[in-house]
Amino acid sequence: MKKVFALLLIIAAAMLPVFANGTAEGGAGTVELVLSEVHAEGYPTTLADYEFARLVNERTEGRVNITVYSGGTLYGEETGSIEALQVGDLDFARVSASPVASYVPALNVIQLPYLYRDADHMWQVLNGPIGQEMLDEIQASGSGLVGLCYYDAGSRNFYTTTPVQGVDDMAGLKIRLQNNAMMVEMVRLLGGNGVTGIGPNEVYSAISQGTIDGAENNWPTYESMGDYEAAPYFILDGHTRVPEILLASETVIDKVSAEDWEIIKECAKETQEYEIEQWNLREESSREKVVAAGVTVYEPTAEEIQEFQDLMSPLYATYGAGYEDMIQEIINTGL
């Protein structure tokens, strides 16, 4: 009897690491993966990152564990995280589609200025065949990246240290932009000078130090990064709607089983709706917060917006070349 008990103990001890690792695969261990996020805790995309990590852990029954690093602690500039994904130094990054277009140029098509009438229009496109085609293009282009899903980031608007109430006021202004040549060209067409290489967490100090005269973003980033305190003039020109993208490094495919890779892709898609809900809440509360703090919001007239829009048509010719039919299809979506 004693012998049997001792034997059972030995077997139990041998099994221990298997259970401790939460894996049934002979103690091979949990696959530990890392996700980088530039936004702070509580920001809609950060909340979605955690939800993604939670779902993946639950559905893989602990075989895959994703640790989220928020606030740009790993990579403050999204270009840095994209390049880390490409060489397999990083597993996931939630980034804006804008810097990704430097590596996958086709992505510029879905972020051309004044492309979407509103958020609903954008979501009809992104959740339809064009959106999927563009996500697939990220991997197909040989970038070493995999596009998992899109998130909402509202519309982007200029904010400055001096009032801008129309295109003329943009003349000579140094505007911080994401790392994307099309966006630099956009500001040049408006008469300003685009400045890149400044991470979103550094915009506040760059404005405060006078290195730049302003930047452009959505309400939540403007509020969350504190930029509204340095550049209190916000013009609702809505020049772009740039979706966020949850990216994986292609090297993750070799780190997890085929089954778990499918689970990862499925979980990412499932978090989209959650992010949009969080987005809508935050867009409203951020706007209220900056307005209460005394920001001057200028709402351009339809004619003033038209002036911005007209100046951007060369971008359609340059960055939309070869995608004319797709652009037309996007414009017709929902009409």
Residues in contact with ligand BDP by CB under 6 A are: 38, 78, 95-96, 153, 178, 200, 217-218, 221, 244
Question: In angstroms, what is the minimal distance from the CB of 178 to ligand BDP?
Answer: 5
The least CB distance from residue 244 to ligand BDP, in Å, is 6
Amino acid of residue 116: Y
CB nearer to ligand BDP: pick between 95 and 109: 95
Q: Tell me whether residue 23 or residue 221 sits nearer to ligand BDP (CB atom).
A: 221
Shortest Cβ distance from residue 214 to ligand BDP (Å)? 12
Q: Which is nearer to ligand BDP, 200 or 260 (CB)?
A: 200
Nearer to ligand BDP, 111 or 217 (CB): 217
CB of 284 to ligand BDP, least distance (A): 16
Instruction: Fill in the DSSP letter of residue 312.
Output: T
CA distance 276 to 69: 21
Residue with smaller CB distance to ligand BDP, 78 or 237:
78
SS3 of residue 157 by DSSP: strand
CB-CB contact of 74 with 83 (8 Å)? no
Q: How far is the CB of 31 from ligand BDP (least distance, A)?
A: 26
Contact yes or no for 328/129 (Cβ under 8 A): no
Q: Give me the least distance between CB of 212 and ligand BDP, in Å please.
A: 12
Please report where in the chains the tokens 């085609």 appear, as a residue: 133
> Where are the alpha helices (H) located in the chain, listed in sequence order?
2-20, 44-59, 78-86, 97-100, 119-126, 129-140, 181-189, 203-208, 219-224, 227-230, 252-255, 258-292, 302-311, 313-319, 324-332
By beta-carbon proximity to ligand BDP, the closer residue of 166 and 226 is 226
One-letter amino acid for residue 321 of the chain: A
Token pair of 206 as six digits: 């760059």
Please give the DSSP secondary-structure letter assigned to residue 40: P
